[in-house]
Every structure is written in C-alpha cells, then in structure tokens.
Chain A
Amino acid sequence: MKEPNYKKIPAGREYYYRRLFSVLILIAFFALMPGKAFSQSQDPKVLKKLSLEELLNIEVISVSLRPEKITEVASAVQVITGEDIHRSSVTRLPEALQLASNLQVAHVNSHDWAITARGFSGLPSAGGILANKLLVMIDGRSIYNPLFGGVYWDVQNTLLESVDRIEVISGPGGTLWGANAVNGVINVVTKSAGETQGLYVSGAGGSFLKDHVQARYGFHKGSTFFCRVYGQRFDQKNTFLENGMSSGDAWNMTQTGFRMDYFPSKATTITLQGDFYEGDENNSIKRAITDGQNVMAHLTHLFSDKSDLKVNVYYDRTWRITPNSTQPFSYNLNTYNFDVQYHYPIGKKQNLLVGMNYQFQQDKIARTLSPLSRNMPLFSGFVQDEIGIVPDVLKLTVGSKFLNNVFTGFEVQPGARIGWTPNMLHTIWAAVSRAVRVPTRFDADITVTDKKFDSEKVIAYELGYRIRPLDRVTLSLATFYNHYNDLRSLDKTTDPKFPIILANSQKANSWGVELSGNMQVTKRWRLRGGYTYFDRYIWSTNDNVLPISVEFESIDPKNTVLLQSVLDLPKNFQLDVMARYVSELSAGTLAPKTPAYFTFDARIAWLFRSFEISLAGQNLFGDEHTEVGLSRIPRSIYGKISYHF
C-alpha cells in the first residue's frame, strides 16, 4: 500500500482521532504518576465505617522499612549497638570496633590502628597501613583511601554519642559495595537528627586520655525538619617504647559537624550532613598536621515496604603534612561520589536491587610515588536479586557488581547466598562470592616498570548457622574458606633501577571460624562476646618472590576472644566490663614475635537526674602491653561527666 502524502497537513477526522489518542495517552501517563498516591487522604469517617476485618484487608503503603531481622540475614554480620558503645570505656571510633569479635583490631600507637577482618593485616611493624582488605563507610561514605588501601583511623572521629550502630560484615561484600570489600565491610550508621535532640555536653580527663570535651545540640521545626550540630576536641598522650621512654606520639584533634534531616512527605527523607576536622599529631621527632572536610546529601524515597530509591552525593577531602622534617611529606585526597540504588519487588517472591556508582578521586602526594598526582575515576554498577523460593523460609540472593577502574579496567564480582530459616529459632546459610581488590597507589605507582600491578582476587566459600535457643540468647557461627589469587608479593628483578618491585606472585588459602553470642542473663545483666579462629597458607607462584612477601601480607593472630558484660545495679549505678584476649603474632624475618595479650576495660557510672558521672579504665591488666608494632599501650583511667537535656 502506498504511503499517503504527509507533506500537506492532513485534515479531517483521521488527524483528530490520532491527536486525541496521543493526548489521552499523555494524560493517562501523568494522571497515574506515583506522587498522587501519598496525598491520598482517606477521611476518617470512611475508614471508621469499615469493620475491623475489612480494615485489616486494605492495601497499606508502609512508610517504614520492614526491619530485616538479624536472624534472617545470610551473612556473618555482627552489630555493635550505640548502647554497647555507651556501656563501655571506648572513647573513639577505632576503639569501638574492639567490640566486634569478628574484627582484628590492634592499637598501634597513640593515634594509629591496624584493623581488618579475616586476616591479612600485613607486617606488624607497618602499623596497619598494609591492612588493605576491608571497606569502611560512615553513613554510606567510604573512608577507605586509595593511597594504601586502608583507613586513616586518626581522623575518623564521629561523635560516638551519635552512633546508632556499627554493622560489621565479615566476608566479601563485593556484590553491593566498592571494589575493596574483600574480607569485610564496616558501616558506621549515625542516628538521625530527630533522635539526637536537645543538648548534650560532656567532659572527660584522665591518665592517657588527657582531655575530651564534646557538645551537641539538636533542634527541630515542626515534625518535618530536624537538625543537630556538634563539636568535640580531645588530647591524647603518648604511648611508650620498650626502654620506657615516650614514643613521642601525643596528639590532639578538633572536629565539628552537623546533620539535617528533612521529611517533605511521609515517604521521603532528605539528609544533609558534614564534618570538619583538624588535628595535630606527633610521630617521634616529626610532627604531622591533618585536616579534612566532608559534606554529603542523601535522599531516600519509599514507594512501599519493599520498594525504595536512594540517591547519595558526597565530597570528601582529607589532607595531611609533616612540615618540619627534612623531607616534608604531604598527601591530599579529594573524593567526589555519586550513587543511586533502587530496590523493587518483582512479583510476590523476588526483590531486585540495582545500583550505580560514579566516584572520582584525585590525590597529590609530595614524593615516593610516580605520578605524584593521579585522577582515579571509578564506575560501578550492581544488580542483586533476592528470591524467596519459599517465602520467609528459603531465600536465595544472587547478584554481581561490575566495575571499571583506572588501574585494571573492568572487573566482575559475582556472588550467591542462600539462607534457610526453617522456623523462628534458626537459620542456616551458605555463600560463594568473588571479590576483587583494585590496586592502590602504593601497589601501582611505587615503581615505574612495564609490569603492571594486577588486582587481587578472592573466592570465598562461607557456611553459617544462627540460633535463638531461648528468647534471651542468640548464638551465631560463621565458617569460611578463602582462596586468594594474584596476591601481592615482593619480587626481585634484574632491572638495576628497580631491584625489587611489587607484583602479584603469591596465592593464599585462609580459613576460620567466627562464633558470637548475645545473652540477656537477667533483666539487668547482659553479656555479649565472641571467639574467632583464623589461619592461612601463603605460597609463591614464581622463583623471584622474596620470602619476606609472606609476612608482608599477613602476620595475624590465630585466636581472638571478646567478652562484654553490661550490668545495671540498683540506685542508678552501672557496672560494665569488657575483656579481650588476642593470641601471639609470630616472629618475622625482621621483627620478634608479639606475645599474646589479655586485657580488660571497666566502667562504673552513676546516673543522677540528667547527669551521668562515670569512671572508666582501659587496658587495665598490666601496666602496658604491645598489640602490634613497637609501641606499648599504657593503662588508661579517666573520669567523665555528661549532661543530657
């Protein structure tokens, strides 16, 4: 059939109907836009006319996410609640991580920490900068840095009073989060501004914690806008060396910040938050200055109790310099990040989570690496499907993350988890995942050769069991077997300019058990704790690998035990104790072994009206001890008064 001639404007009915059809479609499209649903307000008279039975049969939009019970989650997760942190002697974020028994947390010196999960914290004498397999986030903002693949723990000083919980997931989180969640993910979640209203001030001082002042004020406007501002400053004294002399690592830090939460509708939350810090630390004879700023905007929109959209944008800058040494060292990192996550159900049994992330990092270092400054764009996307094979009983989660990074290009991180919850009492779960550690600047840029540093890969097999034998007791057991490929190694070369380079000529197998439990012994007494066992076998894939490569990657304790007791005494007194045992770090080629240590913290507090007066001690067993490296951590006792109105 020949095409009609459209060159002249068609007149008549045919044209009219075609236009009408298009207009109707457009009307239908806009009329059914989701925005409408939430302004739907049912007159109470209408709902009151229904019988209770009919009322329970209406389709409801929930504006509160169904909280996933921890017994249903198919992974090795431990949660440190704000209450656990409050009922302990910890004063800073890295100290709070001691309360998760599936983490290896070692206090290196007054300001540094070596923190990892499932091993590979590197050479003890490196003081934690070789621990590169853990992703850490605060409210969804990654604090992992691409310089050495770890965290500068000295500048992570979120007000502990504002922390709602810290989720510690040991095992690969590659399928949802970044390219370095190889051994675990830590997510620090702060309370919403609405939960931190009123005035909070506290002052503390003691033998190791010289002083610590905190203030926070929260206010709101109606029930849709909540805000808080806070400030804190602390001075911490030095640790000691073997010979009893000071390590010269005293330091101080001032941090201030804010958070605003705005609820334009019942289903939407907009959050804006930021922190600004500046600190001064001593490192034996050198002095370092650090400063940083971050600001983040977040939007969550709930479509139903199973469907939501999250958008996150943040900017983070961290900078440090050692100005007075003969060779000044400085490092500046700018991070721009944008991510979107969309969660929606497919049919009755499936829940799909898709996301996309673009992160641009740009850093500048004073020396040692080549190039001195690098632009590092990172694109990633992920897809995850949660399939309720038997709803609430058997759940399979499959997904994968795809990323493109400036060092190794395209990487894939698939994973599958299955969880079986036969009844409310227990869950058995199993998982297989592949995760990738993208090279850091240290790996890739410390030498300039044509041999590029490749990403490390891990395939992790996990099996776990969680049980609630009595209502007051939860126990969970997680076991894992990891196989690492292309693990970092130190290889000797024939190149006279670079006789030793970083390469990927090692492989490793690691395995372990993580046991944790929580028990409400009586109404006033709660116990929580755990035991972790870890071991590994590392071998090289060619003859050029230097033997020190093994300890460069991993000297980790085999056994770690944690026990925390929280007790409410009569007359508003509280007695809280936390005990830890970490087994020895074996000797290396260059360093002697670090002996096993046992220590405990204790805290006594008295609540009087709006005041809390407490006396707390950390590392009370023995004068001092070494956890990793050379410094000896002293016993610390401090008094604290806080006021909450």
Chain B
Amino acid sequence: MLALKKIMRRSLCAFLFMCSALLSAQTASTVSEYQVKAVCLFNFTQFVEWPATSFPAEQSPMVIGIIGENPFGTYLEETVADEKVNGHPLIVRYYKRVEDIDMCHVLFINLNETNKIRDVITGLKGRNILTVTNQTSSSKQEEIIRFFIKNNKMQFQINLEAAKDANLTISSKLLKLARIFTP
C-alpha cells in the first residue's frame, strides 16, 4: 500500500514532467506573425525606390497604409515612430475603401477574398504604391509582395512585373531574400 503510494507519486511527477515537456515543445520562444510583418514593412521602405513624383516635398511623409482590418494593433505605429527614410518621416494611415487612398507609398491589403484584393489593386492602377498582402489561396499574384509562412518562418514572394508597372525599383538586397513570382 505504501509502496503503491510511492509509485503513484513518482509517476505523477513523471507525468507532469512529460506534460510540461510536451507543452514546451509547442511553445518554444516564438514571435507573433504580425510583429514580424510590421518590421518587414518597415524594412521594405528602405529597400524600395519610389519615383521622385511620389513625394511633393523633401520633408513630406512616407505613408504606410492599411486597408481592411488593422491586424497590428499599435505595433506598426511603434515600429515606425520617429523613423525616417531619405528624410521622409514614416507615418501609418488606415483606409476603408480604395477611393480614400490619397498619398500612399506602401499599402498592406489585409483582406482575404481574392476578388476584393483584385478590386483594390485595379483601383490603384498607374500609381506608385508597393502593394503587400497576406498569403491567399490564389496562385496568381497581382500584388507586388505577398507574405507567406513556410516551415514556421516568414517569407515573401515578389512580382517583378507588378513592381515595374508601379514604377518602383526593388533593391537586389531584398530580391535575393525573396521568392520571385513566375506567372
């Protein structure tokens, strides 16, 4: 009876240990996907060249816009606070509809229906905006940069044709880290 108690106590400890090991396997130090995306957007502003006409003045801001729900909370604003790219201060703007988008340089399209995304991109034709989306189920990419997660790591895919249409030059430093989209 007493031996049984001992065995039970030992196995309870062993069980708890196994549980914690199992749980910890799932919770190895990781970062939220949207925090990484926010910092990636910040990085994109430094590896892409916009035509001079996108900035009316030397000090005019560089705008990162979000259309669709804001998934970053305040994280994106914290990331770009007090940051400048080539003298242009970075600011974040939130848009509900394509028509509302005035001056914008990077647009994160947080929508999940491919036809809605297509509508936004068509509405921005001829403008110099770096369009970025999450992974969608469409194998055709019309946006310039698409995020996706592979093996639990953030990756992105770049559509060079779309970048050319928007008159944007993407630095080779960014290109070599990306997967290039082939239609």
**Which A positions have Cβ atoms within 8 angstroms of B?**
3, 6, 21-22, 25-26, 28-29, 31-34, 36-38, 40-42, 44, 47-48, 50, 52-53, 55-64, 66-71, 83, 194, 223, 266, 303-305, 307, 424, 468, 471-472
- Binding stretch for chain A, among B27-35, B50-58, B159-167: B27-35
Q: Are A60 and B2 in contact (CB under 8 A)?
A: no
Looking at the assembled complex, report how far the CB atom of A547 sits from the nearest CB atom of chain B, in whole angstroms.
50
Partner of A60, one of B19, B32, B38: B32
Partner of A305, one of B139, B140, B152: B152
Chain A residues lying within 8 Å of B9, measured Cβ to Cβ, are 22
Chain A residues lying within 8 Å of B115, measured Cβ to Cβ, are 83
**In the bound complex, how far is the Cα of B39 from the Cα of A468, in angstroms?**
35
Q: Are A61 and B32 in contact (CB under 8 A)?
A: yes
Q: Are A69 and B139 in contact (CB under 8 A)?
A: yes
Query: Could you say which of B26, B34, B73, B153 has the most chain A C-beta atoms within 10 Å of its C-beta?
Result: B26
B8 interface hit (Cβ, 8 Å): no
6 residue pairs bridging A and B, Cβ less than 8 Å apart = A22-B9, A44-B75, A47-B35, A48-B42, A62-B33, A69-B139
B169 interface hit (Cβ, 8 Å): no
Q: Are A59 and B153 in contact (CB under 8 A)?
A: yes
**Which B positions have Cβ atoms within 8 angstroms of A?**
2-3, 5, 9, 13, 16-17, 19-20, 23-24, 26-36, 38-40, 42-43, 47, 69-70, 73, 75, 78-79, 113, 115, 134-137, 139-140, 149, 152-155, 173-174, 177, 183
Q: Are A61 and B19 in contact (CB under 8 A)?
A: no
In the A-B complex, the 8 residue pairs with the smallest Cβ-Cβ separation, listed nearest first, are A32-B24, A44-B79, A37-B27, A29-B20, A67-B137, A47-B39, A59-B30, A62-B33
Q: Are B36 and A58 in contact (CB under 8 A)?
A: yes
Chain A residues lying within 8 Å of B36, measured Cβ to Cβ, are 47, 55, 58, 60
Q: Are A61 and B24 in contact (CB under 8 A)?
A: no
- The residue on B at minimum CB distance from A472 is B140
Looking at the assembled complex, report how far the CB atom of B133 sits from the nearest CB atom of chain A, in whole angstroms.
12
Chain B residues lying within 8 Å of A70, measured Cβ to Cβ, are 137
Looking at the assembled complex, report how far the CB atom of A266 sits from the nearest CB atom of chain B, in whole angstroms.
7
Q: Would A307 and B13 be within 8 Å (CB), given that A52-B174, A58-B31 are in contact?
A: no
Q: Are A42 and B35 in contact (CB under 8 A)?
A: yes
**With A42-B32, A307-B26 given, can you name 17 additional A-B contacts, CB distance below 8 Å?**
A3-B2, A21-B13, A22-B9, A31-B20, A37-B27, A41-B32, A50-B39, A52-B173, A53-B177, A55-B154, A57-B153, A59-B30, A69-B137, A83-B115, A223-B69, A223-B73, A472-B140
Q: Are B149 and A305 in contact (CB under 8 A)?
A: yes
- The residue on A at minimum CB distance from B118 is A523
Chain B residues lying within 8 Å of A223, measured Cβ to Cβ, are 69-70, 73
Chain A residues lying within 8 Å of B34, measured Cβ to Cβ, are 63, 266
Q: Would A468 and B153 be within 8 Å (CB), given that A60-B36, A63-B33, A304-B26 are in contact?
A: no
Q: Are B79 and A60 in contact (CB under 8 A)?
A: no
Chain B residues lying within 8 Å of A42, measured Cβ to Cβ, are 31-32, 35
Looking at the assembled complex, report how far the CB atom of B63 sits from the nearest CB atom of chain A, in whole angstroms.
18
Chain B residues lying within 8 Å of A48, measured Cβ to Cβ, are 39, 42, 79
**In the bound complex, how far is the Cα of B9 from the Cα of A61, in angstroms?**
36
Q: Are A55 and B26 in contact (CB under 8 A)?
A: no
**In the bound complex, how far is the Cα of B94 from the Cα of A576, in angstroms?**
34
Partner of B152, one of A37, A41, A304: A304
Chain B residues lying within 8 Å of A62, measured Cβ to Cβ, are 33, 149, 152
Q: Would A28 and B20 be within 8 Å (CB), given that A62-B33, A223-B70 are in contact?
A: yes
Chain A residues lying within 8 Å of B113, measured Cβ to Cβ, are 83
Chain B residues lying within 8 Å of A305, measured Cβ to Cβ, are 149, 152
Looking at the assembled complex, report how far the CB atom of A301 sits from the nearest CB atom of chain B, in whole angstroms.
12
Chain B residues lying within 8 Å of A47, measured Cβ to Cβ, are 31, 35-36, 39, 79
Chain A residues lying within 8 Å of B42, measured Cβ to Cβ, are 48
**In the bound complex, how far is the Cα of B176 from the Cα of A53, in angstroms?**
10
Looking at the assembled complex, report how far the CB atom of B35 sits from the nearest CB atom of chain A, in whole angstroms.
6
Q: Are A303 and B26 in contact (CB under 8 A)?
A: yes
- The residue on B at minimum CB distance from A35 is B27
**In the bound complex, how far is the Cα of B136 from the Cα of A70, in angstroms?**
12
Q: Would A40 and B152 be within 8 Å (CB), given that A34-B26, A52-B43, A471-B139 are in contact?
A: no
Query: Could you say which of A29, A223, A424, A471 has the most chain B C-beta atoms within 10 Å of its C-beta?
Result: A29
Query: Could you say which of A53, A60, A223, A471 has the most chain B C-beta atoms within 10 Å of its C-beta?
Result: A60
Q: Are A32 and B27 in contact (CB under 8 A)?
A: yes
Q: Are A424 and B13 in contact (CB under 8 A)?
A: no
**In the bound complex, how far is the Cα of B26 from the Cα of A38, in angstroms?**
12
Partner of A61, one of B5, B20, B33, B139: B33
Q: Are A44 and B78 in contact (CB under 8 A)?
A: yes
Q: Are B43 and A55 in contact (CB under 8 A)?
A: yes
Q: Are A60 and B136 in contact (CB under 8 A)?
A: no
Looking at the assembled complex, report how far the CB atom of A390 sits from the nearest CB atom of chain B, in whole angstroms.
15
Chain A residues lying within 8 Å of B136, measured Cβ to Cβ, are 67
**In the bound complex, how far is the Cα of B177 from the Cα of A70, in angstroms?**
28
Partner of A59, one of B24, B39, B139, B152: B152
- The residue on A at minimum CB distance from B122 is A523
Partner of B38, one of A6, A25, A44: A44
Chain A residues lying within 8 Å of B173, measured Cβ to Cβ, are 52
Q: Would A55 and B139 be within 8 Å (CB), given that A26-B16, A305-B152, A307-B26 are in contact?
A: no
**In the bound complex, how far is the Cα of B20 from the Cα of A36, in angstroms?**
13
Looking at the assembled complex, report how far the CB atom of A196 sits from the nearest CB atom of chain B, in whole angstroms.
13
Chain B residues lying within 8 Å of A3, measured Cβ to Cβ, are 2-3
- The residue on A at minimum CB distance from B39 is A47
Chain B residues lying within 8 Å of A22, measured Cβ to Cβ, are 9, 13
Chain A residues lying within 8 Å of B29, measured Cβ to Cβ, are 40, 59
Looking at the assembled complex, report how far the CB atom of B137 sits from the nearest CB atom of chain A, in whole angstroms.
4
**In the bound complex, how far is the Cα of B26 from the Cα of A266, in angstroms?**
17
Chain A residues lying within 8 Å of B70, measured Cβ to Cβ, are 223
Q: Would A52 and B177 be within 8 Å (CB), given that A61-B30, A266-B32 are in contact?
A: yes
Chain A residues lying within 8 Å of B40, measured Cβ to Cβ, are 52, 55
Q: Are A44 and B39 in contact (CB under 8 A)?
A: yes
Looking at the assembled complex, report how far the CB atom of B112 sits from the nearest CB atom of chain A, in whole angstroms.
8
**In the bound complex, how far is the Cα of B72 from the Cα of A266, in angstroms?**
10
Chain B residues lying within 8 Å of A68, measured Cβ to Cβ, are 137
**In the bound complex, how far is the Cα of B114 from the Cα of A83, in angstroms?**
11
**In the bound complex, how far is the Cα of B40 from the Cα of A58, in angstroms?**
12
**In the bound complex, how far is the Cα of B149 from the Cα of A52, in angstroms?**
15
Q: Would A41 and B35 be within 8 Å (CB), given that A29-B19, A304-B26, A471-B140 are in contact?
A: yes
**In the bound complex, how far is the Cα of B28 from the Cα of A310, in angstroms?**
22
Looking at the assembled complex, report how far the CB atom of A3 sits from the nearest CB atom of chain B, in whole angstroms.
6
**In the bound complex, how far is the Cα of B148 from the Cα of A316, in angstroms?**
39
Chain B residues lying within 8 Å of A61, measured Cβ to Cβ, are 30-33, 152
Q: Are A40 and B30 in contact (CB under 8 A)?
A: yes
Looking at the assembled complex, report how far the CB atom of A422 sits from the nearest CB atom of chain B, in whole angstroms.
15
Q: Are A67 and B135 in contact (CB under 8 A)?
A: yes
- The residue on B at minimum CB distance from A72 is B137
Q: Are B137 and A56 in contact (CB under 8 A)?
A: no
